[in-house]
Structure 1
Amino acid sequence: MLVWVASFPRSGNTLLRIALHRRYGVTSSVVYDHDGVAGRLGGELIGYTERPGSLAEMRAAAGPHFVKTHRPRDEDVDDADAAICLVRDGRDALVSWARLLSEDDPASFPAVLRRRITDTDGRSSASWGTNVLSWLRPAAAHRVVLSYAELIADPAAAADRVMAVVAPGVRADLDAVIPRFEQLRQVDAGFFRRGVVGSHRDEFPPALLELFWSRPDNRAAMQVLAASGTS
């Protein structure tokens, strides 16, 4: 069984992988050839594992195999695949990603943010709105939506809710401790940067915010999140 852990970058994917690893003993691989996050933070923290086989082989296995992706839902994803779809306000996610990408050159932040807003490369992450809509439309019972706000507020409860949908046979270790965001900041404050909802309010340049809203896919995705109460 294959379970996608899917999100646009900086939407809580790493925090969820940590929570699943600590509470359920779940390990996760990535759809990419290299897991840069595991390389930066350490594979043990996030429960990283190498892919045990092809996507088809993992899909055919009896037990669940969790695979992280930041790509839009594409030809690698079977319509019947289970998925945890992490969603975060696009303005917050884009600001956070641009800050991370420009951490070695903070002055490049506006230019990096502009490129991330306008990116359309589907083998990367595509634009925020295109990415989110690909996973949320059409809705499916085996694709569970988890908001960044819910995850940040209570990682254990968030992990419990999604696991009840995608892998109900896996039991939780109720005594397991999931690191608080403040503790994760001690591991890497550049990666675990703010951990708040609404970070765009004091970071998103007004002209680039207009560019964000000029994209029809972004407007449509924000409307979907607002309607579902996950924005």
Structure 2
Amino acid sequence: MIIWLASYPRSGNTFFRILINQFYGIKTYSIYDDPLFERLTGVADVVGHQKREISYEEMMASEKIFFVKTHHLPSDDCPAIYLVRDGRDSLVSYAHYILSFKNESLRKAYKNKIKSMFGWNEFNEILKKLIISSDCDYGSWSQNVYQWNKPSKFTFTIRFEDLIKEPLHQVKTAIEALEIKGDFSRINNQLPSFAELHETWPQFFRKGKSEAWKREMSQELQELFWEHHGQVMQKLGYE
């Protein structure tokens, strides 16, 4: 069977994969195969990332459990662990990720879609597009959160902010809530800190902190964000 490790991009998905790999030796997969890890030496080993060797249909039909990362909107009834983060921090981090890793042609596409009235600021315009647009695969931040947390879905949701504060507790609670069968004996008491991850791979593991948006999201963009995502933010208890 598949258990989705789902999230909107830059919401703690990779950090959760690191945790279950380091704590329990659980290897995970990704529907994207995460080719970026090939460019960042050592990341795949820390994350516990595995290349997929069978189809998703075979994974679903198997008695073995496969943990698979996705940012896509849900399309089946498989159980899921959903990572959610303050949408402002997710979008700020995602905008930096696009600037760091996406190819130049994609960056030009963003630039051509949105023109600033007050001069071009690539980061701000990418962030603006992420706020107001809905990706056909991921949806907007609000759509992603809403779709994965419908009452009809068997999903356990973890807040990124809680995962950073008490990682082992959050992982154990998720596994117990989904009644996942298997040997989950601790194999390792050592966990790389976010600071260590940042020092080794600074572009991918940027900060791992909350409320970075206060320094990087203009008042105009904050108001735009609340206009588009305020209802879901309030439902989640973010202010």
TM-score (norm 1): 0.87
Q: 2:219 aligns with which of 199, 206, 225?
A: 206
- The CA distance in 2 between the partners of 1:135 and 1:40, in whole Å, is 30
1:70 aligns with 71
2:58 aligns with 57
Q: Structure 1, residues 123-157: CA drift from partner, whole Å, max 9, x if none?
A: 2x2210011101111264x3111000111112222
Counterpart amino acid of residue 226 in structure 2: W
TM superposition shift of 1:60: 1.3
- The CA distance in 2 between the partners of 1:65 and 1:116, in whole Å, is 30
2:177 aligns with 165
Question: Over aligned residue pairs, what C-alpha RMSD do you find?
Answer: 2.1
- The CA distance in 2 between the partners of 1:186 and 1:139, in whole Å, is 41
In the TM superposition, 1:78-93 aligns within 5 A as 78-79=76-77, 81-93=78-90
2:94 aligns with 97
TM superposition shift of 1:208: 1.4
TM superposition shift of 1:44: 0.9
In the TM superposition, 1:16-165 aligns within 5 A as 16-32=16-32, 34-41=33-40, 42-73=43-74, 75=75, 78-79=76-77, 81-103=78-100, 107-123=121-137, 125-138=138-151, 140=153, 142-165=154-177
1:195 aligns with 208
Q: Identity of counterpart residues, as a percentage?
A: 34
Counterpart amino acid of residue 134 in structure 1: Q
In the TM superposition, 1:1-16 aligns within 5 A as 1-16=1-16
Query: Is the 1:2–1:65 Cα contact (8 Å) retained in structure 2?
Result: yes
1:186 aligns with 199
Instruction: Give unmatched runs, 5+ long, in structure 1.
Output: none
Instruction: Indicate the structure (1 or 2) with the bigger Cα radius of gyration.
Output: 2
- The CA distance in 2 between the partners of 1:139 and 1:180, in whole Å, is 36
Q: Structure 1, residues 50-73: CA drift from partner, whole Å, max 9, x if none?
A: 223222211111121011011122
2:233 aligns with 222
State which drifts further: 84-93 or 198-207: 198-207
Instruction: Give unmatched runs, 5+ long, in structure 2.
Output: 102-106, 108-120
CA spacing shift, 1:168–1:176, aligned 2, 3 Å = farther
State which drifts further: 93-102 or 6-15: 93-102
Query: Is the 1:14–1:46 Cα contact (8 Å) retained in structure 2?
Result: yes
- The CA distance in 1 between the partners of 2:196 and 2:94, in whole Å, is 21
CA spacing shift, 1:37–1:151, aligned 2, 3 Å = farther
Counterpart amino acid of residue 85 in structure 2: R
Matched, 1:175 2:191: no
- The CA distance in 1 between the partners of 2:208 and 2:152, in whole Å, is 27
Counterpart amino acid of residue 89 in structure 2: D
TM superposition shift of 1:172: 2.8
Counterpart amino acid of residue 204 in structure 1: M
- The CA distance in 2 between the partners of 1:37 and 1:27, in whole Å, is 17
